[in-house]
Amino acid sequence: MSEKDQVLSEAMNFLEYAKILGVSEVTRQPPKLELHNEELSKTRNLEEISKVIGDCKRCKLCSDRTNIVFGVGNKNADLMFIGEGPGRDEDAQGVPFVGRAGQLLTKIIEAMKISRDDVYIANIVKCRPPGNRNPEPDEVTACMPFLIRQAQLIKPKVIVCLGSVASQNLLGVETKITSLRGNFTSWQNIPVMPTYHPAFLLRNPNMKKPVWEDMQKVMEKLGVSPA
Ligand code: URA
């Protein structure tokens, strides 16, 4: 048996044992903060983070991008939305959530009696994955420290993760979005509400209802009263 097969077999035995003990789910560790990157941990505002990012070439997404999509909104926002990564429109304009899915997100925010300018919106990766594919693990690893620092400086009262890529990467889990959505979890002491991505809602309008239920929980947490 090769060394790799040996390790796999031991891991399988361990998981079987854990299952007998009642463990039903094994999660990855949450992404490392990587703020041992001294330059990043010293940043005091979003402009400084942007300067550290510079003309980023830390992952392969740099080769096809038009613009780095840093994030947009109120730097003191109570509410932060995190999406997956820029699409074509966002790449062209350098602003997150400006395409069709973005317009729907804006409608959702406004239905919450909040202005889009009052929230902060960013993505797991800041450069467009080609063909709108999901960001790959090395791309997420390269980019997430900047998002983490943005969240640390903004200090929102609630984070909403839009879709499975945002939810799974921020929370460091592989749980399906159907199970995650609708329940608050915590990330760095900030309540996180995973919900469906607006692009998914465009394809599945009947899923707008559960998203609205999730947003009502967010409004309650923020103390925003419905109309
Ligand atoms: N989808 C995302 O996840 N992010 C954007 O910025 C646009 C579309």
pLDDT band at 3 (very low <50, low <70, confident <90, very high): confident
Rounded Cα distance, 165 and 223, in Å: 28
- Structure confidence at residue 55 (pLDDT): 97
In this predicted structure, what is the pLDDT of residue 33? Answer: 46
Tell whether the model's pLDDT for residue 224 goes beyond 70: yes
Give 141's contacts (C-beta < 8 A, 6+ positions apart): 31, 34
Question: All domains of the chain, ordered by start, with CATH?
Answer: 43-222 (3.40.470.10)
Sole residue written with tokens 């109120």: 74
Place of tokens 């998002």: 147
Q: What is the pLDDT of residues 71-102, one digit of tens each?
A: 999 999 999 999 999 999 999 999 999 999 99
**Six-digit token pair at 31?**
């992404």
CA 97, CA 131: separation in Å to the nearest integer? 16
> Candidates 93, 123, 195, 203: which one to mutate for ligand 1, based on the most atoms within 8 Å of Cβ?
123
Task: Ligand 1: list residues with CB < 6 Å.
Answer: 83-87, 90, 96-97, 99, 101-102, 123, 199
**Strand, helix or coil for residue 73:** strand
User: What is the per-residue pLDDT for 12?
Assistant: 84
127 close to 62: Cβ distance less than 8 angstroms: yes
Each residue of 136-192: pLDDT tens digit?
Answer: 999 999 999 999 999 999 999 999 999 999 999 999 999 999 999 999 999 999 999
Q: How far apart are CA 24 and CA 52, in angstroms?
A: 41
In angstroms, what is the span from residue 3 Cα to ligand 1's centroid? 42
112-131: average pLDDT? 97
Residue of 114 and 1 predicted with greater confidence: 114
Work out the pLDDT band at 13, boundaries 50, 70, 90. Answer: confident
More confident residue, 215 or 30: 215
Determine the residue of 82, 90, 120 to mutate for testing ligand 1's pocket, defined as the one with the most ligand atoms within 8 A of the Cβ atom.
90
**Ligand 1 midpoint to CA 14 (Å):** 39
> pTM of the predicted model, to two decimals?
0.86
Q: What is the pLDDT of residues 18-77, one digit of tens each?
A: 777 777 666 555 554 455 688 999 999 999 999 999 999 999 999 999 999 999 999 999
